[in-house]
């Protein structure tokens, strides 16, 4: 569940122009929702976080847990750079090692090109960012 929370926190950065967005896993099962106002909910519609238009990501207690800069730099809550998102959808860690990819349809793949989820209609830069956080969290567990 912790892994899901991290991926959902970073889904909603494209909050300006879409209706409630459904987040799906690799089997097309719904695992969460993002509302236009930036509220992030799990599959049971319980609020687990918030996305701000300035790129700041907060948990359910409004504590800032990360930032996504307009240039694609991913930072943790202490402003330490932990990754990068390239224009082509390649996601890299802080050492510029490729950790995954996001295509223009919103398909999310790991570094071995295995599909791990789908986030259609969300800017690939933001999709890649939460993908990065999801897998970074997995590595630490």
Give the pLDDT of residue 72: 84
Residue 111 zone, left/alpha/beta (φ > 0; ψ -120 to 50; rest): alpha
pLDDT bracket for residue 113 (50, 70, 90) = very high
Give the pLDDT of residue 132: 53
Question: How many domains, in total, are found in the chain?
Answer: 1
In the predicted model, is pLDDT for residue 86 greater than 60? Answer: yes
Least-confidence region, from 14-23, 53-62, 71-80:
14-23
**Domain that residue 136 falls in:** 2-140
Give the pLDDT of residue 97: 92
Give the pLDDT of residue 8: 41
Q: Give me the mean pLDDT over the 22-42 stretch.
A: 82
Q: Where are the beta strands (DSSP E) in the chain?
A: 21-25, 30-34, 39-42, 47-51, 56-59, 64-68, 73-76, 81-85, 90-93, 98-102, 107-110, 115-118
């Amino acid at each position: 569940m912790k892994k899901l929370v991290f991926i959902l926190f970073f889904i909603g950065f494209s909050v300006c122009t879409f209706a409630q967005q459904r987040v799906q896993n690799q089997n097309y099962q719904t695992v969460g929702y993002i509302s236009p106002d930036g509220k992030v909910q799990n599959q049971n519609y319980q609020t687990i976080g918030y996305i701000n238009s300035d790129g700041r990501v907060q948990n359910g207690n409004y504590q800032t847990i990360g930032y996504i800069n307009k240039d694609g730099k991913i930072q943790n809550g202490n402003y330490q750079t932990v990754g990068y998102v390239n224009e082509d959808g390649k996601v890299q860690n802080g050492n510029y090692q490729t950790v995954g990819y996001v295509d223009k349809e919103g398909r999310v793949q790991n570094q071995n090109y295995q599909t791990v989820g789908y986030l259609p209609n969300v800017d690939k830069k933001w999709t890649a960012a939460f993908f990065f956080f999801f897998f970074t969290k997995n590595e630490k567990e």
